[in-house]
Amino acid sequence: MKKLILDILLGSLLVFSFTYIVLLIAGAPVLDAFKHIWLGAFASSIKISQVLSVWVPLTLCSCGLLFTFRANLWNIGIEGQVTMGAIGAMAVLRTPVIDNPTLILCLAFLTSMLCGGAWGLFAGLLKTRGGVHEIFGGLGLNFVSQGFILWLIFGPWKRPGIASMSGTELLNRKLWLASLPGWRVATAGIVIAIAILILTWLFLEKSRLGLKLKAIGQNPKAALLYAISPERYYLQSILIAGSCAGIAGFIQTTGVYHRLIPSISSGYGYLALLLVMLSGYKIVLIPILAFFFASLNVGAIQLPIVLQLDSALSGVIQGCCVLCALFILGIRQRRAQP
Amino acid sequence: MMGDLSLPMLIASVLAASAPLIIIALGETLAEKSGVINLSLDGAVLFAAMAAFVVARETDSLLFGFFAGGCAGMLTGVIVGYFSIYLHLSQVAVGFALSLLCRDLAYFLGNPYSRVQGPTMLNSKLPFYDSLPSSLQIILTQPLTVWLALLLVAVIYYFFSFSKAGLCLRSVGENPAASFARGLNPAKIQMLAVLGGAFLVGIGGAAYSLSLKPGWGRPQGAEGIGWIGLALVIFGGWNPIRVALGAMLFAFLQVSGIGLQDLFPGIPSQVFQTAPFPLMIFTLIFMHYSTSRSRKQGYSSGRLQRIAGKLFMSRAPKGLGQSYRQE
């Protein structure tokens, strides 16, 4: 326990000094930058709700990734799975046939899960059937989904008159996920994220699926001897991951942007990969770290306006956190060796 | 067919567009042949492109710019190498985190320099330019990076196939334990390969911001190239010549996208800009898939398959991605 706290302190110190150096190189006022990130994330209830609305997709993606990481799969395609989820949701929301908003939202939710899951399954099949490493299958599918969403926004789903990068037409207000008065975050999104967190914990820690995934992740050949087919569980885990990502896409569409934009996934899939690595694949840490990452993301938004700095600073800090954590882990493992 | 592109123009633009990618992919080949995957390519390219442009602008010297790009690339190589070879961490994890970190670092540090004018490498005429027919004049008037890329293909091929140092490097990539027993130092050789490879990646990045897509901005235009480079190495079978051909194929897709854009005004230009990436990855996957049976069996039945097998046959270095612990 003492060692753990020491490690965290050491890691924070490393991250802080690295960020300090980067800011010095950029010639920026260091303390001001940190202050503005803090203010940008927590100054008002609107800012905090923005943080929460980033927290939701991050948590969802991370939950999905826990499954694939446990089977030792690198589901880089999660970015495209979010996008496909958003597209699926939008496709349902655009059908004028159904009148009942609740029903149509439920249908959109299910479709987004299906689309994200199918996109994940596709990458999984490329791996199990085609022998293509999931990183490259996933990347290819990410590029495809990016092209697809651009084509939709500039083609069939364009706004009447003008097609632009700002996205499709706004959804009917009845189809927005509701939020509490004074808060700008969809309540349903938070509820879904917490529910998925609990479900993920149950599945991974209390079910046979979690155990089998663990066996496959640690030694696929030995698992095969116990009649656990790695291929089947690869597909299952990536299907689950894709569905979680699809839900994130649904919430991005109906709860955050209320339309389809080209960057609907906002890089949250890649960020979730970092987050899960930083958590050491422990689900307890996911919500906390997701909140930390989300507040960095939101806090950095106003940096360009206030200090003329690029908002990529948040990404620098996040990436640095992961590398420092890996570094400390590596040193510890090395020390532990005889 | 291609709008106003004539054949010599097409060849010239494909050569020009492929040069940086060839250099980048060759750098990665060097590292992977020694058994280390440097997955940070995408970020490293952008970081090097940024460093090269900033230094070239400040010093007003292209040479310093390229050198700075190489050094910036090497910096990422130091981290990948140290983490994966000496700390025995997962190469994929380190590379991926570093890739995102470098990309954001490039955007952050390069911000004051976005959309400003800087030095650009111009096309250089060959000494015997006037004696060439006009179509060759068009094809052969290229920036120096093209000649560098083509030269590197030959050099790296020679290095792997015929030099003793190349043999050592390959043996470490195949079986570090056995090469240790033969008196080599696997960690040192891997580190050197990663550093050398990362230097080339940096030069490739510099070739983007100083020659092919001059300037810096967000987005710069080199986004995603690193991933294509990584895929090229794997599906190019770790063979420098095939890797270079793959890079040219990608450049062809990019260039023909520009030409096709005029033919289909109904399709938004953004689609044409993204299309080469999935097309490339799926072409590679298809080639890989079509030979997968003969790879498994070790022989192929059909004549076409045999040819395809010979062309696309590939085998990864045996020790790729595993860190070697000396006992």
Buried b (16+ CB within 10 A) or exposed e, A84-111: bbbbbbbbbbbeeeeeeeeebbebbbbb
A68 CA to chain B: closest CA distance, Å? 14
Across the interface, do A323 and B101 touch by the CB < 8 Å criterion?
yes
CATH of residue A48's domain is 1.10.3470
Question: How far is the C-alpha of B295 from the C-alpha of B224, rounded, in Å?
Answer: 29
Residue predicted with more confidence, B132 or B22 = B22
Preceding omega of A101 cis (within 30 degrees of 0): no
- DSSP 8-state assignment for residue B322: P
**Domain ranges, residue A215:** 29-308
- Note the pLDDT of residue B4: 53
Task: Identify any residues that bridge with B142 across adjacent strands, giving them in sequence order.
Answer: B124
Determine whether the interchain pair A318/B100 forms a contact, defined as Cβ–Cβ distance below 8 Å: yes
Residue in chain B closest to A314 (alpha carbons) equals B104
DSSP state of B111: G
> What is the pLDDT, as a whole number, of residue B202?
96
Work out the average pLDDT over B160-182: 92
A283 in any annotated domain: yes
Identify the pLDDT of residue B299: 52
Residue A1 burial (10 A CB sphere; 0-12, 13-18, 19+): exposed
Residue of B nearest to A73 (CA): B92
* Inside any domain, residue A2: no
Q: What percent of chain B has pLDDT over 70?
A: 89
Q: Is A324 on the interface with B (CB under 8 A)?
A: no
Chain A residues with CB inside 8 Å of B289's CB? 130-132
For residue A265, which amino acid is it? Answer: S
pLDDT tens-digit series, residues B317-326: 888 878 777 7
| A140 close to B (CB below 8 A) | yes
Which residues in B224-250 are b (16+ Cβ under 10 Å) and which e?
Answer: bbbbbbbbbbbbbbbbbebbbbbbbbb
Cβ contact (<8 Å) for A330 and B89?
Answer: yes
User: What distance in Å separates residue A324's CA from the closest CA in chain B?
Assistant: 10
pLDDT at B232 (0 to 100): 87
Residue of B270, B283, B294, B295 best to disrupt the A interface, most CBs of A under 10 A: B270
Nearest-neighbour CA in chain A from B95: distance (Å): 9
Alpha helices in chain B (DSSP H): 7-33, 41-59, 62-81, 91-110, 134-140, 144-162, 164-174, 176-181, 186-207, 225-235, 240-263, 269-274, 276-290, 292-297, 303-312
**What is the distance of C-alpha A196 from the center of its chain?**
13
Nearest chain A Cα to B283, which residue? A140
| Torsion sign across C-alpha atoms A124, A126, A130, A135 | negative
Q: Tell me: pLDDT of B304 over 90.
A: no
Residue A146 contacts B where some CB pair is shorter than 8 Å: yes
Answer yes or no: are the C-beta atoms of A148 and A86 closer than 8 Å: no
| Residue B243 to residue B318: CA distance in whole angstroms | 19
Domain presence at residue A5: no
What is the predicted pLDDT for the residue at A323? Answer: 94
Of A241 and B220, which is predicted with more confidence? Answer: A241
- Yes or no, beta carbons of A137 and B285 under 8 Å apart: yes
Residue written as token pair 């560098």: B148
Q: Is A22 on the interface with B (CB under 8 A)?
A: yes
Contact B93 A277 (CB under 8 A): yes
Residue B293 has pLDDT above 70, yes or no: no
Substitution target from B46, B50, B101 for chain A, most A beta carbons within 10 A: B101
- Separation CA B172–CA B174 (nearest Å): 5
Distance CA B86, CA B94 (A): 13
Q: Which residues pair with B124 in a beta bridge?
A: B142
For residues A271 and A278, give the distance between their C-alpha atoms in angstroms, rounded to a whole number: 11
Residue A221, class by beta-carbon neighbours within 10 Å (0-12 exposed, 13-18 middle, 19+ buried)?
exposed
**What is the mean pLDDT, run by run of 10 residues, along chain A of 338 residues?**
87 93 88 90 89 94 95 92 95 84 92 96 88 84 90 84 77 83 83 95 90 85 82 92 96 91 90 93 93 94 87 92 93 82
- The domain tally of chain A equals 1
Closest listed residue to residue A146, CA positions, set A53, A81, A93, A76: A81
Task: Check CB contact under 8 Å for B234 and A133.
Answer: yes
Q: Report in angstroms the alpha-carbon separations of B99 from A148, A315, B135.
A: 25, 11, 41
**Res A178: pLDDT:** 81
Q: How far is CA B179 from the centre of its chain?
A: 28
Q: Pick the more confident residue, B278 or B89.
A: B89
The three-point CA angle A105-A239-A58 to 5° equals 65
C-alpha Rg value of chain B to the nearest Å: 20
Judge contact between B264 and B34, C-beta under 8 A. Answer: no
Segment B278-297 shows an average pLDDT of 68
Residue A11 lies in a domain: no
Residues of A in contact with B92 (CB under 8 A): 74, 135
Chain B residues touching residue A150 (CB < 8 angstroms): 268, 270-271, 274
A128 touches chain B (CB under 8 A): no
Residue B70, SS3 per DSSP: helix
Dist CA A245 CA A260 (whole Å): 16
Q: What part of A 234-293 touches B (C-beta under 8 Å)?
A: 262, 270-271, 273-274, 277
CA-to-CA distance for B252 and B263, rounded, in angstroms?
17
Q: pLDDT (tens digit, 9 = 90+) per residue, B54-101?
A: 999 999 899 999 999 999 999 999 999 999 999 999 999 999 999 999
Contact criterion met (CB < 8 Å) for A274 and B97: yes
- Chain A nearest-CA distance from B51, in A, is 12
Q: Are A279 and A285 in contact (CB under 8 A)?
A: yes
3-state SS record for chain A? CHHHHHHHHHHHHHHHHHHHHHHHHHCCCHHHHHHHHHHHHHCCHHHHHHHHHHHHHHHHHHHHHHHHHHCCCCCCCHHHHHHHHHHHHHHHHCCCCCCCHHHHHHHHHHHHHHHHHHHHHHHHHHHHCCCCCHHHHHHHHHHHHHHHHHHHHHCCCCCCCCCCCCCCCCCCHHHCCCECCCCCCEHHHHHHHHHHHHHHHHHHHHCHHHHHHHHHHHCHHHHHHCCCCHHHHHHHHHHHHHHHHHHHHHHHHHHHHCCCCCCCCCCHHHHHHHHHHHCCCCCCHHHHHHHHHHHHHHHHHHHHHHHCCCCCHHHHHHHHHHHHHHHHHHHHHHHHCC
Helix (H, G, I), strand (E, B) or coil at B74: helix
CA torsion A252-A253-A258-A264 (nearest 10°) is: 70
Neighbours of B177 (CB within 10 A): 14
Q: Where are the domains of chain B?
A: 7-222
Contact yes or no for A34/A27 (Cβ under 8 A): no
Which chain B positions have a beta carbon within 8 Å of A262's beta carbon? 270
Confidence of residue B283 (pLDDT cuts 50, 70, 90): confident
Contacts of A309 in chain B (CB under 8 A): 108, 111
A26, A126, A273 member nearest B96 (Cβ): A273
Mean pLDDT of B125-137: 80
For chain A, how big is the Rg over CA atoms in Å?
A: 21
